[in-house]
Amino acid sequence: MTLQPHPLRALNSFFFSPVSVSGFALMRMGWAAVVLWYGFGELMDVMRYFSDAGILPAALEHLAVREEFRFTLLDVVRDPGDVLALYLLLMAATVCILVGFFPRIATVVAVLLLFSFHERNPLVLGGGETVLRHVGLLLMFAPVGRGFSLRRLRMQWKQWCMKKTLPPPRTIHVWPQRLLLWQLIVIYVASGWDKLLGDMWLSGTAVQATLYHSHFARFPVWMMDVLAPLSPVFSYATLLFEFLWLLMLLPSSLLACIGLRHGVLKRTLLVLGIFFHGGIFLLLDVGSFSAAMLVAYLGILTDADFHAVRGFFNARWLGGKKPSRQIAVLYDTYCGLCTRAMFTLLILDHLHRLKPVDFHDEELRKKIVPDITYKELDKAIHIRFIRTGKTLKGFEAFRTLSWHLPVLIPVAPFLYLPGISRLGRRVYKRVAARRKKCKHESCSL
Amino acid sequence: MNFFLILQRTIIILFCLYHVMAVGLFSMPTDDKRMEPLRQAVLPYIRPYLLTTSQWQQWNLFAPDPLRRVTEFAIEKRQGNAWVLSKSLTPKTLPWWRDTDELKLLRRLEDGGDAFAPLRRRYLEMHCHEENLRRGTWLRLAVRWFAIQKPPFPVPTQQWGVAAPAWNTKSIGEFTCP
């Protein structure tokens, strides 16, 4: 490697430098969720749309589909029952992708089946389906099972049992991510370019016309009237947003000349995109397009982006102070159940706020909770906010932690409903009383 | 780096460059006639790859101008001398999880013109089976439409003419249940 001339090294680095797999693995799960969601919506029409008993029987197929360079398994599977079985296989494969069960194989199967269905009847396809196909192809190329999969979870568990740490995220080569970014740029710039060829976007009336189109509008005309006066602003903002993606093609040195950095620019575009597609999703029914685009955003996230997001939320939580692991969770490493609970908490700790502390370690215990006795710690899990010194235990500790674990935040408010605290304390007490039965040595899956 | 790794990486780089070029050139708006000669010149080299891998794409959502034609479809059957509604096919009458695909299909069946006449008859034939209609039932696929106005500049909402639109109606296909 070191003997290579500089341009080749740069080329090698441009395509093959390692990036965290987390972005692509998240995109894999998002892709599966969108395919599954819209797939179930289509379930009742599978035979109508894709089999010989439907709108396109073999005799009429030539009217709607091209004959050259076309690959679809449904050229050979034509019976309605068989087509439905294949569709259910697609759904099953997407479930496997979602949960990370043999994700690589499941991705290949699901993507090929999705291509097959799309090629069988293009009359029901829209922009969202096209995005899903592009994302699908890139997912097939990337080793997406390295993150957020059951295999990865097993690896994490093994390391947790042996070293009481979690392994760092695994990496993939950057080239699938670069192709994805290019695809996004193409979507936005080609779309903006086409809009410039008409006159409604430039006259500022395009958004208003769209809001009034009853096929797309989710709300009645009188409600859209409220937004309609903003049509010129929204129309021009759309064009600006779409062409801003061109900046992503500029090298860092040129971007620096106008005071921009790639990472900041990308994150700004992603935030604008979330509002853009979120707004479209909220106001208009355009099928899976918004969801598919937001899923594609996940794939271009890098470690720096995750770090920035984490920093943003943690800095807000800490009132601008430097974010670090701020909640000490004191748990019993001799208890299998506690070890598993701690492992689960750490897996869900996407904001990196938790600091696991073995309370059998006297030095650490005296450093973090000098005021709590070993006997008390042995009765229930304790958490201590290192900055404020606030301490909670048992059910209250778990309830408070749920506000700090993004996946559990939707559940957190329900833990404050009347009666839940009492029930939670009782359940926690019972579980805690039996916890010693689960031995640390049983740490294996 | 060993030979096979270099070969593997070279192939990947060449593939990436080709993919980037193919996707970029294929996506150029077909509405832009100035670019059409370039597009036509490169299509033979990129089309086989993009079509075989299902990566074909044109990003003309709401472009060049948003869709202004509002359409409502209905299947009507002949009773005596009148056409009566058999099934209404609008965003309001179709289930929310089905309306996007079904209306897309119907819009394309209409846009297909004469070439799609057999597909529209097939759509009606499927309706015969789904509704178990009697042999000889005469059906038609009716479309009601109006166009949202296209003012040259933003105007107050009352002037868009969507509150009380002037609907047009026509039949785009007929079929007698077998």
The model's pLDDT over A216-245, given as tens digits with 9 standing for 90+, comes to 888 888 888 888 889 999 999 999 999 999
SS3 category, B169:
strand
Compute CA distances A434 → A118, A237, A357, A427, A428, whole Å: 54, 60, 21, 11, 10
Scan for tokens 């079929």, then name that residue.
B175
Query: What are the residues whose beta carbons fall under 8 Å from the beta carbon of A42, sequence distance 6 or more?
Result: A49, A124, B98, B101
| B116 min Cα distance to partner chain A (Å) | 7
Beta bridge partners of B78: B83
Inform me whether the pLDDT recorded for A312 exceeds 80. yes
Taking the CA atoms of A91, A95, A97 and A101 in sequence, report the sign of the dihedral they define: negative
Interface contacts (A, B; CB < 8 Å):
199
Give the pLDDT band (50/70/90) at residue B4: very high
Element housing A292 (H / E) = helix A289-299
Compute CA distances A137 → A30, A96, A111, A242, whole Å: 15, 17, 7, 23
Tell me how far apart the alpha carbons of residues A149 and A128 are, in angstroms, rounded to a whole number.
Answer: 26
The amino acid at residue B114 is D
Tell me how far apart the alpha carbons of residues B160 and B3 are, in angstroms, rounded to a whole number.
Answer: 67
Q: Which of B12, B15, B59 to substitute to test the interface with A, most A CBs within 10 Å?
A: B59
Q: What percent of chain B has pLDDT over 90?
A: 82
SS3 category, A140:
helix
Q: What percent of chain A has pLDDT over 70?
A: 95
Give the pLDDT band (50/70/90) at residue A321: low
Inform me whether the pLDDT recorded for A317 exceeds 80. no
Q: Is A70 on the interface with B (CB under 8 A)?
A: yes
pLDDT of A322: 63
Mean of the pLDDT values across residues A3-9?
A: 73
Give the pLDDT band (50/70/90) at residue A214: confident
Q: Is A195 on the interface with B (CB under 8 A)?
A: yes
| A21 min Cα distance to partner chain B (Å) | 19
pLDDT of A443: 44
Inform me whether the pLDDT recorded for A4 exceeds 70. no
pLDDT of A6: 81
Residue A25 · residue A298 · CB < 8 Å: no
Query: What are the residues whose beta carbons fall under 8 Å from the beta carbon of B104, sequence distance 6 or more?
Result: A123, A124, A125, A126, A287
Element housing B2 (H / E) = none
Give the pLDDT band (50/70/90) at residue A293: very high
Inform me whether the pLDDT recorded for A410 exceeds 60. yes
Inform me whether the pLDDT recorded for A179 exceeds 90. yes
pLDDT of A441: 52
Q: In terms of Cα–Cα distance, which of A300, A277, A283, A299 is closest to A127?
A: A277
Buried b or exposed e, range A27-60, using 16+ CB within 10 angstroms: bbbbbbbbbbebbebbeebbbbbbbbebbbeeeb
CB–CB contact A55 B102 (8 Å)? no
Q: Which residue has the higher pLDDT, B154 or A285?
A: A285
CB–CB contact A205 B100 (8 Å)? no
Residues of B in contact with A218 (CB under 8 A): none
Q: Is A177 on the interface with B (CB under 8 A)?
A: no
Tell me how far apart the alpha carbons of residues B42 and B21 are, in angstroms, rounded to a whole number.
Answer: 10
Q: Is A243 on the interface with B (CB under 8 A)?
A: no
Mean of the pLDDT values across residues A182-211?
A: 95
Inform me whether the pLDDT recorded for B120 exceeds 90. yes
The amino acid at residue A100 is G
pLDDT of A438: 56
Q: Phi first, then psi: what are they for B123, rounded to 5°?
A: -60, -40
Could you give the residue ranges of the DSSP H alpha helices within chain B?
A: 3-26, 36-52, 99-111, 117-131
Give the pLDDT band (50/70/90) at residue A175: very high
Residue A56 · residue A83 · CB < 8 Å: no
The answer to whether the peptide bond before residue B64 is cis (omega within 30 degrees of 0) is: yes
CB–CB contact B148 A60 (8 Å)? no
Tell me how far apart the alpha carbons of residues A194 and A212 are, in angstroms, rounded to a whole number.
Answer: 21
Residues in chain B: 178
Q: What is the pLDDT of residues A53-106, one digit of tens each?
A: 999 999 999 999 998 999 999 999 999 999 999 999 999 999 999 999 999 999
Q: Which residue of A has its CA nearest to B107?
A: A123
pLDDT of B154: 79
Residue B63 · residue A194 · CB < 8 Å: yes
Q: In terms of Cα–Cα distance, which of A294, A190, A305, A197 is closest to A246?
A: A190
Q: Helices B3-26 & A175-196, crossing angle to 10 degrees?
A: 10
CB–CB contact B65 A198 (8 Å)? yes
pLDDT of A326: 86
pLDDT of A444: 42
Scan for tokens 């903002």, then name that residue.
A237
Beta bridge partners of A331: A358
Inform me whether the pLDDT recorded for A171 exceeds 60. yes
